[in-house]
A and B are shown apart, each in its own frame.
Chain A
Amino acid sequence: MTITKKLDGDTLTVSVDGWLDTMTSPQFHDEVQELSGAKNVVLDLGGVAYISSAGLRETVALFRRVSAQGGSFSVRRVAPGVLDVFTLTGFDRKFEIRTD
């Protein structure tokens, strides 16, 4: 899994490429510890074809940290299977999720 971060003003875009599963979620956890002073976070999952509960937990944890500091959190370019995971667990009602 590769993770790239791009800071644009007070918004950090985190792009993930690969599977967000039990084995890779610790790496994701480490990478998003440092938000480079950004207030808002956009999580670009365009390269993620698969997410399991471990990946979902890390995503939700990131959302809570951003919300706690008063910023906005959204998930972009979500694949169909990954979208199922967000909608069936009800997280699509907590933060913005877009397929584009």
Chain B
Amino acid sequence: MKRTGTLIHKTYRNLLVSTLAMTASMYLSSIVDGILVGQILGTMELSAINLTYSISFLKSIPIAMFTFGGNTLAVMYKGKRDNPRADIVYSISFWAGILSSVVIAVIGIALTAPTASLLGQKNAELESLISLYLIPLWVLTPLTALNNHTAAFARTDGLKKLATALPIVSNVINLICDWLYMAVFGWGIAGAGWATVTGYLLGSLLVIGYFRSKQRTVRFTRAAWKRLRDMGKILSTGLPSALIYVCNFLRLYLTNAIILSATGTAGTKIASVSFSLNSLCFIFIEGATMTLLPVLGALYGERDIRGQKLALRYGMWVTVGLSVIILILSELFPLPLAAMYGLTDSALTEVFAVTFRIMSINIPILAVIYVMRTFFQATKQKWLANILVVLDGFATVVPLMYVLAKIDIYWLWASFPISKAVTVLITVVIVVIYKNVRHKDNYLLIEGEEGPVLDFSIHNNVEEATDAAHKTVAFCEKQGVEKNLAHNIGVAVEELCVNSARYAAKSQSDSIDVYVKVSPQAVVLRLRDNGNIFNPTEYVDDTGREVTGLKLVRSLTSSIEYNRVIGFNVTVVSVNR
């Protein structure tokens, strides 16, 4: 009996589907948006929209901060079974996210003309197209805040259908309106922007479904007003996610400026198609890492060190695997991909085929960087997560591009994979130095177990429940735990596993993670399964039996606590020594 990752892997895969659906709908809509704009309006309009992507990242900063910061922190509190605090974090992050996005939208609209001038680099045609697109882009901000925050919490509450439907509905309506507004009504580039607003507005009606759901585990609470200082924690937890958007904003603004000045409008057209296609990899990389964040957050909250390592390993395999598929597709089919955007000019496509292939080499390295950033973020090593974000998003690529652009257009695009490799190299050096200076146990820089621990997994069935009890008693006795206490912990393992197998298990392939920790003060047992909701502290026995397993567990142990987090039933039992 060894600890397996079955339970974590299964939960990760369950969450992955809905997260990928969300990122796919986000990025695919932007990709298809780009294709529609390129085909209906032309590559100049596509270039104008590409130049506004830096603004999209700018307005995403507060949204990301409150959505990911609030969601990760709330899941951590739920992992610690502090549900009132999770409600406070949910309430603050929701209202602060909406309010800040309204403020940023108002300021953005007021500054439309100077923004367009800054982005257009004194190209009058581009400036005029950009200002038409900017107003709906800013109006969209509060709606994005509402939808993203709700989708994130719905996902970690196990409301996968709702979490998946929210972005899909918004983006499908967006694409329909794109065609309607641009091709039928002839609204031009502004039509592309208003189509997105319409999609998100109608999509936001699904938010009501979340508010009315009985499965919602977080609630609005007035207690949030008295704990506004939690805002600091939300912001610092969400900072690495938000920092991505800060760096993306700076990177896109500066790289677009370098590309425009070094290669002219022809280079900008190549860039707009390259960036749009490159966002295909973000569907998978961002989706896979966004899935990993709440899983790692919950495991960190429970101080499940082995679980964190298992989740990291699995998340890395999945993310890198998906990124390699995208790399292969990008290397094999650059020209058909460019043709989708209306980029068919042979002089341009000849260059594009080479630059796009060079740029695409960065995809698997980007996957590694994103997974490690997520890991450091979830395990509260924010400084390291922030270093990764700044290095990857801005500090390596911009100076490299500035220097390499002086050689030729091919070296300019090589700055992407080179900068990713440099980012990984610098991070490895920092980690090695930190590990040696601080005498850390491992290169992940996480704490090791304190005291003897038994950590294993069983199948969620009655047969293995008694085997688990045998193993637990033997372990406790080996650690010098008093015989009667070792016995009682063993009984708790058997009874809780048997109950899980009888009442919570969905199938025979389900498993239970068993964790026993011995300290001088107490023996602590933690059981985790991913079955139906089963709360042993609230379960009312109606079998009519005088002796039931749960009654016995309550009699033999000092405390029993239950928590439902990201689809896990987590029961923690302690026996004082």
Contact = CB atoms under 8 A, between A and B. Distances in A.
Contacts of B548: 53
A27 interface: no
Interface in B18-63: none
Nearest to A89: B555
A89 B495 CA distance: 15
Interface stretch (A6-14, A34-42, A65-73, A75-83): A75-83
Given A22-B465, A57-B545, A85 B498 contact: no
Contact of A52 (B463, B469, B482, B485): B469
B555 A53 contact: no
Interface residues of B, number: 28
Contact of A53 (B483, B486, B547): B547
Contact of A83 (B466, B482, B484, B495): B484
Contacts of A53: 491, 495, 547-549, 551-552
Contacts, number: 74
Contacts of B547: 53, 56-57, 60, 89
A19 interface: yes
B487 interface: yes
B484 A80 contact: yes
Contacts of B555: 88-89
B529 interface: no
Contact of B494 (A21, A57, A81, A84): A21
Given A53-B495, A53-B548, A56-B552, A23 B466 contact: yes
Q: How large is the interface on A (under 10, 10 to 19, 20 to 34, 35 or more residues)?
A: 20 to 34
B487 A49 contact: yes
B538 interface: no
A3 B120 CA distance: 89
Interface string B459-502: 00011011001100100000000111111101100110010000
Contacts of A82: 487
A50 interface: yes
Contact of A22 (B486, B487, B498): B498
A96 B473 CA distance: 27
Contacts of A21: 466, 469, 494
Interface in B543-566: 545-549, 551-552, 555-556
Interface of A: 19, 21-24, 49-54, 56-57, 60, 79-85, 88-89
A-B pairs, top 5 by smallest CB distance, nearest first, are A81-B487, A80-B484, A88-B555, A53-B549, A81-B484
Given A81-B484, A81-B487, 14 more contacts: A21-B469, A21-B494, A22-B465, A50-B473, A50-B490, A52-B494, A52-B552, A53-B548, A54-B549, A57-B546, A57-B547, A79-B483, A85-B487, A85-B556
